[in-house]
C-alpha cells in the first residue's frame, strides 16, 4: 500500500508517520519545503513522485485566535487551494482512498452541545476562525461531489484541538495548551491570558489523533463526516489551572477581557467514530499534559531565555 501523507513533517504528521510505520508501512512524506501544495504544479509533481494508493491530507496553515485574526485571508486561501489541488490530483491518479482531516472550527458558533455531525450546516462558524473553518468545510463539499461524480472514495474527519510532544510553541501561532505551557514554564511572575477563561474546549492527545486517523484510513469508507475527539469538555480557566499545577507555576494568572474569548463552548459527540471505525480516545488530559510538559522541558526549554 503506497500511502502519501501531506503535512507529514508537522506536529500531527510526525506522530502519524510513526503510527503508520508501526504497521510496517513506510509512507511517502510530503513536506512544504519540497512541495508547496498551494501551487498546482507542485501538487502534480508530488503525485507523480509518490504514486499513491491512499492519500492522507493533513497539510494546513493554522494557528490560535491571534493568528487567525491576523491572517484570515491567507488561511482561507492556502487551505482552500491545498485541499482543492490534493482532491483533483487524487481523482486524476485514481487513488483508492483520500482521507481529509478537517476541523472543529467548521461547526457553527452556537451549535448545540455536544456537536453532532448533523449540525455542521446549521449556522456560521465563530468569526475569529471562520476563514480557516470554512476553507476546510468546503473540502467536505468537494469530497462528496467527487465521490458522486467520479467515484473517488473520500472521507472527512472533523478534528478537535490537538496537543502533545512536538507541538508548535511559538506564541504568535500556537494554540492554547502549548502557549500556556511555554508561558508558565518561562515566567516567574504573572502570565496574561486572552478573554475571561469561561469558554470551554475539547482537547485530543496527538498520539490518540494519529491512531484515529489511521483507523479511519483502514476501516471507514462513508460519505458522512466523522468527529474525532475525546468527548471531554473543560473551560479555559480550568485548563490554565491544570497547566499551572503540572508545570509548578506559582505566579498570577491575569485575564485580559479586552481580548476575544473565541467560540463559547466546544464538545463533540464522538459516538460515530467508535461506531464506524472503532476509535475511542485513551489519554486523560492530565496525563497528556504531563508528557507534553516533560517533552518541552527536555527538548525545547534547554537554553531558552526566561521571560
The residues annotated with a catalytic role in the active site are 132
Q: 101: buried, middle or exposed (CB in 10 Å: 19+, 13-18, 0-12)? A: buried
- Round to whole Å and give the CA distance between 195 and 24: 46
Under 8 Å between Cβ of 263 and 199: yes
Q: DSSP letter at 235?
A: E
* 238 CB neighbour count, 10 Å cutoff: 14
- Residue whose entry in the numeric block shows the C-alpha cell 500531527: 12
> Which triple of cell numbers denotes residue 268?
463533540
Mapped onto helix, strand or coil, the DSSP state of residue 56 is strand
Grid coordinates belonging to 59: 497539510
Closest C-alpha to 272, from 136, 118, 96: 118
Q: Are 203 and 234 in contact (CB under 8 A)?
A: yes
CA dihedral defined by 66, 69, 71, 74, rounded to 10 degrees? 130
Amino acid at each position: 500500500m503506497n500511502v502519501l501523507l501531506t503535512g507529514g513533517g508537522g506536529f500531527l504528521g510526525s506522530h502519524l508517520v510513526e503510527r503508520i510505520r508501526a504497521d510496517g508501512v513506510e509512507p511517502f512524506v510530503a513536506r512544504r519545503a519540497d512541495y508547496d501544495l498551494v501551487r498546482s504544479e507542485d501538487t502534480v509533481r508530488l503525485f507523480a513522485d509518490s504514486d499513491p494508493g491512499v492519500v492522507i491530507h493533513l497539510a494546513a496553515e493554522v494557528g490560535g485566535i491571534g493568528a487567525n485574526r491576523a491572517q484570515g485571508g491567507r488561511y482561507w486561501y492556502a487551505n482552500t487551494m491545498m485541499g482543492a489541488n490534493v482532491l483533483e490530483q487524487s481523482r486524476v491518479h485514481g487513488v483508492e482512498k483520500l482521507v481529509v482531516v478537517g476541523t472543529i472550527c467548521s461547526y457553527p458558533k452556537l451549535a448545540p452541545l455536544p456537536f453532532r455531525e448533523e449540525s455542521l450546516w446549521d449556522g456560521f462558524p465563530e468569526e475569529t476562525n471562520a476563514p480557516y473553518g470554512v476553507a476546510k468545510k468546503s473540502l467536505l463539499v468537494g469530497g462528496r461531489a467527487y465521490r458522486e461524480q467520479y467515484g473517488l472514495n473520500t472521507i472527512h474527519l472533523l478534528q478537535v484541538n490537538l496537543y502533545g510532544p512536538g507541538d508548535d510553541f511559538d506564541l504568535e501561532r500556537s494554540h492554547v495548551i502549548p502557549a500556556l505551557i511555554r508561558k508558565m514554564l518561562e515566567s516567574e511572575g504573572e502570565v496574561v491570558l486572552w478573554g475571561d477563561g469561561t469558554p470551554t474546549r475539547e482537547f485530543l492527545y496527538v498520539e490518540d489523533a494519529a491512531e484515529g486517523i489511521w483507523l479511519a484510513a483502514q476501516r471507514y469508507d462513508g460519505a458522512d463526516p466523522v468527529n474525532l475527539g475525546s468527548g471531554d469538555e473543560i473551560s479555559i480557566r480550568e485548563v490554565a489551572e491544570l497547566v499551572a499545577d503540572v508545570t509548578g507555576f506559582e505566579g498570577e494568572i491575569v485575564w485580559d477581557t479586552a481580548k476575544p474569548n473565541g467560540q463559547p463552548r466546544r464538545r463533540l459527540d464522538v459516538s460515530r467514530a467508535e461506531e464506524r471505525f472503532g476509535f475511542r480516545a485513551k489519554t486523560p488530559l492530565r496525563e497528556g499534559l504531563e508528557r507534553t510538559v516533560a517533552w518541552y522541558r527536555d527538548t525545547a526549554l534547554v537554553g531558552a531565555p526566561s521571560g
